[in-house]
């Protein structure tokens, strides 16, 4: 923690010297030096070079897929006046405020260079603390993740008071999509959204990146039906085996039981439980385990899946937290009784995702090849990483039927969810 505070203070000093574009070192250079000089268990990644000062690696210009940073460098000559250009706040016009959190405010905006809509994530910089570690993580990871189902980081702007990340703009998140269709998504669209979630996640997991905060609000959807993973502020790069990860991750409703019970020894399977919860929520229109405390969250889980025993979850009976809660001995219920809109293949996949032990959960890569997706064809499995599934002529989003809002009890859950987040 002391090293993290030191990094933040150095970033703050750098921003104070550099302002909106000057100084001896840029924000990205600072991130590069500080992140790569510490172990994986302290920050998140290695080899971070964001090039926000306008310099790039000539050897990298031959890559088949050009990064937003390289596009920025190539197009920098577009601006004939010093007032606008990539890396400058004046280049973007704020249109609407989309949301606000503890550290950042998100705006809908427009680029004066391209005239395209963008999302502006404005992160406030405190004088003492500097850039939040979540911002450092998001920048360092997203600059290396180029995939059709992961949101694109276009630009980075820093001033003395703020760090602004410029993302591609998508119309809504999955939570808003659910609300707009009366919490009843067409079953075919559920399948398309789930496949895209798994596809983006499999790409991350192949690169040893754990998202660690999957929830409907962090899945963005555009008018074409393309779904993209967003908000990598809690993500981690698992480059070496370690048992030093935090268990204070993943929003409560989507947090797996092993993490709820204190485990810090996890890998990519931490994300798969959240996938199962989101799959259920898309299929039914309601959250699966809407607990307000860790104890209540576990109670909801055990009531549906059965209270674990030493036989079903080896070692659970020696877990002090589990013992202290003293849960009733529930028998597992049939998932099919709670998911009437899912076929047998869908229920089977859901069951494979909702396993108590991380090592028993199905992986994202394996999930994409599950028979639940058979009717989407084989070509969807061989698309290049940066190609949308909707490039295939036989893959189309079904039109949603607009339905009236559900009962007050469901709406109250939604309100409660928004307060928790």
Active-site annotation, residues: 213
Helix%, strand%, coil% for the chain, nearest 5? 40, 15, 45
The label of the residue with tokens 């108590």 reads 356
CB atoms within 10 A of CB 347: 18
User: Would you say 149 and 97 are in contact if contact means Cβ atoms under 8 Å apart?
Assistant: no
Contacts of 327 (CB under 8 A, 6+ apart): 298, 299, 302, 307
Helix (H, G, I), strand (E, B) or coil at 296: helix
Helix axes 2-18, 27-36, angle to 10 degrees: 160
Q: What is the DSSP string of 226-238?
A: -EEE---TT-EE-
User: Would you say 156 and 164 are in contact if contact means Cβ atoms under 8 Å apart?
Assistant: yes
Output phi, psi for 227, to 5 deg. -105, 135
User: Would you say 285 and 184 are in contact if contact means Cβ atoms under 8 Å apart?
Assistant: yes
Question: Six-digit token pair at 70?
Answer: 């390289």
CB atoms within 10 A of CB 45: 22
Measured CA angle at 221 (ends 215, 222), to 5 deg: 165
Cα 153 to Cα 339: distance, rounded to the nearest angstrom: 36
Tell me how far the alpha carbon of residue 332 is from its chain's centroid: 30
Question: Six-digit token pair at 284?
Answer: 């039914």
User: Would you say 298 and 286 are in contact if contact means Cβ atoms under 8 Å apart?
Assistant: no
Q: Which long-range contacts (CB under 8 A, 24 or more apart) does 339-345 make?
A: 339/280, 339/283, 339/284, 341/187, 341/283, 341/284, 342/187, 342/283, 343/372, 345/370, 345/371, 345/372, 345/374
Helix (H, G, I), strand (E, B) or coil at 306: coil
């Amino acid at each position: 923690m002391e090293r993290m505070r030191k990094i933040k203070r150095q970033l703050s000093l750098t921003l104070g010297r550099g302002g909106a574009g000057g100084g001896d070192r840029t924000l990205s250079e600072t991130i590069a030096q500080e992140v790569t000089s510490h172990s994986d268990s302290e920050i998140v990644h290695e080899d971070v070079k964001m090039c926000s000062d306008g310099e790039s690696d000539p050897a990298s210009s031959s890559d088949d897929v050009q990064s937003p940073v390289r596009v920025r460098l190539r197009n920098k000559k577009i601006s004939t006046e010093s007032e606008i250009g990539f890396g400058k706040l004046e280049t973007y016009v704020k249109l609407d405020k989309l949301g606000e959190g503890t550290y950042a405010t998100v705006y809908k905006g427009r680029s004066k260079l391209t005239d395209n809509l963008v999302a502006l994530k404005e992160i406030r910089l405190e004088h003492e603390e500097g850039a939040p570690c979540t911002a450092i993580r998001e920048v360092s990871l997203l600059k290396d993740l180029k995939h059709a189902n992961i949101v694109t980081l276009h630009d980075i702007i820093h001033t003395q008071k703020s760090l602004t990340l410029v993302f591609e703009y998508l119309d809504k998140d999955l939570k808003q999509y659910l609300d707009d269709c009366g919490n009843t998504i067409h079953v075919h669209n559920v399948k398309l959204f789930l496949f895209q979630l798994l596809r983006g996640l499999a790409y991350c997991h192949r690169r040893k990146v754990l998202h660690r905060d999957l929830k409907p609000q962090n899945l963005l959807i555009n008018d074409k039906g393309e779904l993209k993973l967003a908000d990598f502020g809690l993500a981690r790069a698992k480059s070496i085996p370690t048992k030093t990860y935090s268990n204070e991750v993943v929003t409560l409703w989507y947090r797996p039981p092993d993490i709820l019970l204190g485990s810090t020894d996890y890998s990519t399977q931490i994300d798969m439980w959240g996938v199962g919860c989101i799959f259920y929520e898309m299929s039914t229109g309601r959250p699966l385990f809407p607990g307000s405390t860790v104890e209540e969250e576990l109670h909801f889980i055990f009531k549906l899946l059965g209270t674990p025993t030493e036989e079903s979850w080896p070692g659970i009976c020696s877990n002090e937290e589990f013992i202290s809660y003293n849960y009733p001995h529930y028998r597992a219920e049939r998932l099919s009784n709670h998911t009437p809109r899912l076929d047998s293949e869908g229920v089977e996949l859901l069951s494979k995702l909702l396993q108590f032990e991380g090592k028993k959960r199905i992986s994202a890569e394996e999930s994409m090849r599950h028979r639940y997706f058979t009717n989407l064809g084989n070509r969807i499995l061989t698309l290049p990483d940066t190609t949308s599934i909707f490039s295939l002529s036989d893959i189309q989003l079904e039109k949603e039927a607009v339905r009236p809002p559900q009962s007050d009890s469901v709406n109250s859950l939604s309100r409660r969810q928004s307060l928790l987040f």
